[in-house]
Structure 1
Amino acid sequence: MRPRHLRSLFIILAITLVSLWVSIPGTALDINGFKANHPVRQGLDLQGGLQVTLEARPPGGGDVDDGTLLGTRDTLERRVNGLGVSEPLIQTRGDNQILVELPGIENPEQAVEVLKETALLEIVSTNGTALAPGTVVRTSLGDGGASAPVTPVAVATPGGLANPAPPVPDPNSPVYQTIVSGSDLADAYYGTDPGTFQPLVVFKLAGDASETFYEFTRDNIGQPMSIVVDKQVVSSPTIRNAIAGTGTIDGMTAAEAQNLATQLKAGALGVPLEVVSSRTLGPSLGSDSIDRSLVAGIVGLSVVALFMILYYRLPGLLSVIALLIYTAISFALFKVIPVTLTLPGIAGFILSIGMAVDANVLIFARLKEELRSGRPLSQAIEAGFDHAWPSIRDSNISTMITCAILYWFGQFTGATIITGFALT
């Protein structure tokens, strides 16, 4: 055997052993807790939970722009992190909907009520203290959002560790004065400084709030103020001059400025959310689905393996071993990346194993033709691989293009079934 082939064989064996170690469940030979930190992530349809579709409906009708929808999604994400949910999914769908999936939920009614609440935006005086983003505060506008203790509505599951509940303010902590709220903001958007071309956020105040904010900023030049959403600080800019009507916030990266602009705009509009659909799936149904999927996978692989061995004999046996190696490597990657497995995802995984057989069939068919033409075995193997490669390459490229289109479509429409199938 050539040295190059020996090196390739050694690399394949090493990758296979590592993949088998990662794929096999249990705590045996768990080095530094690696296997425990990379469990199988189960989707909503496998471990049970709640799926809610929320629709943004601005008062008085009208459309919701992308920035407002993204800001509302970010607000929902902060709320969900406070529910103690493992591996939540929050994504926009279409022009005015947000899809929320909460695996392992225990109290779906409470979760829905938390999600439906309109975001409360405030700009508060911090009495000269620069509050760090993420700080939960008490304000004069009253309790709401994260200011009250949050009761976790989910527990840790085998699919991952639950997110910790957010900190709650000390009842003895100071109450910061609210200067303006979201209802006082007319608009907010991302922009750039015309002189320095640095990113900034432009916001506009409406009505009497303009005069109130002018007096506050005039008397507190050089002092910080905090922008608070649902009683949680998202930014603490420093006042440089008195602001009347229209103001700007700078000193941020482009990504930070865009994020703050979406938060301000979503809070300014105070977009109410209505539940369009809600579906609760019990964990027993998910467990039954896993069992049925395993049976289907074992039966399917056994039939394919039997066919390959009976028809191609020794090459067929080698192809079955190659398929098992492919399965171990793929499953190990799913755990390490990680990939959230759903029922459609498992179906796609099993289908990909079956499609991998196509390459073996093409190679073996070409190998037989080369042997019939009188070539020695070593040359027939080389020629079989060389002649089959263009067909294998083209078919796999076509498959990847199709999967990319399905994944994009699933992300855009919020159809997690399609996304899970395309990903695996």
Structure 2
Amino acid sequence: MSKEMLEAFATLEKTKGIKQDVIVEAIEAALVAAYKKNYNQATNVVVEFDERKGDFKLMTEKEVVDEVHDDRLEISLKDALTINKAYEVGDKIRFEVAPKNFGRIAAQTAKQVIMQHLREAERNHIIDEYSQYEDELITGTVERRDNRFVYVKIGNVEAVMPRNDQMPNENYNPQDQIRVLVTHVGSDTKGAQITVSRTAPDMVKRLFEQEVPEIYDGTVEIVSIAREAGDRTKIAVKSNDSNIDPVGTCVGQRGARVQNVVNELGGENIDVVKYEEDPSDFIANALNPAEVIAVQFGNEEDEKSALVIVPDYQLSLAIGKKGQNVRLAARLTGYKIDIRPESEVEFVDENTAEANQENAEAETEEIVDSVADGIDEDISAEAVDQDDVEIEDSVDSDEEADQE
């Protein structure tokens, strides 16, 4: 090792940001480990780096003693004084050692350490640079594909798109330009890893943010998204400004805004529905384009379930092809939805139920009043009869007295 080593360290620090002292420290530790492995002794071995010459020296350290018991670890005071008359018992003296073939071992070790640090530096650089793009859209170039991944070049980095993040209706060919959502930036044993997707629900969210300024600035808010990538997506939106229609804003004039999103997603159908605080209204909107007659909810134990009643002729439309419409509506609203045709369900709406209850209460009150009036009349009649008896008794007594 020589000046070339110093030049290499300087280049690494300048181009890769790896500090010289970090590499030197790592090489020193690796050389000690290599010496232990190859020569079965290293309890008193240290490595020194000559910054002027760019050399690493393997040194063995011995303690000055009066009487030597282990010449690998100790040196007599007599021998130490021949080296330097200032040595005393207890001092440590270092001696350079040069085992056979250790120069080759040292060179290989240094190369391995440097390569390891290069990989770590590259990994950290990628993570630092691309972490800011996590959960954001980015444009890349398809490089290649295999049975598991599509490999996408993003800048100077290769990202991977797993099979479940690939659109089922799309083909990815080398040199294709595609927009993807960065879903994960991290590392594994092979280094930094960036994962991208075209099927994530947040991909739709980011596309709408780019197409609809009112979403980007917070005037219109995306509440929830339910997506079956490549086929259909439902997106619930609400407005934080009473003067702005959230659905119309997202759709755009003549559907221009939503159509741009549809085109980016390869023709995927998108339903934009209005979010409502009232769950029954929200569920009815989520089942668009089907017409909903009424929504009834379960008991307290199953409060996140809903029975939706639709006209008989709308049943297939409400359920959707292979259950897709109701499935997406359930995911969009967070409710378990059971759809029934009107002809199979007996139901009353809240207004009718309230009116019926009021009528029933009125009828009950009339019956109670009637019974009470009857009892009052009976008691009054009995009181009159008793008075008549007392009057008759009084008359009879007077007549008997006159006869006497």
TM-score bin (small chain)? under 0.3
Higher normalized strand content (fraction of residues): 2
Which of the two has higher C-alpha Rg? Answer: 2
Higher relative contact order (CA 8 A, sep 6+): 1
Calculate the TM-score normalised by the size of structure 2: 0.19
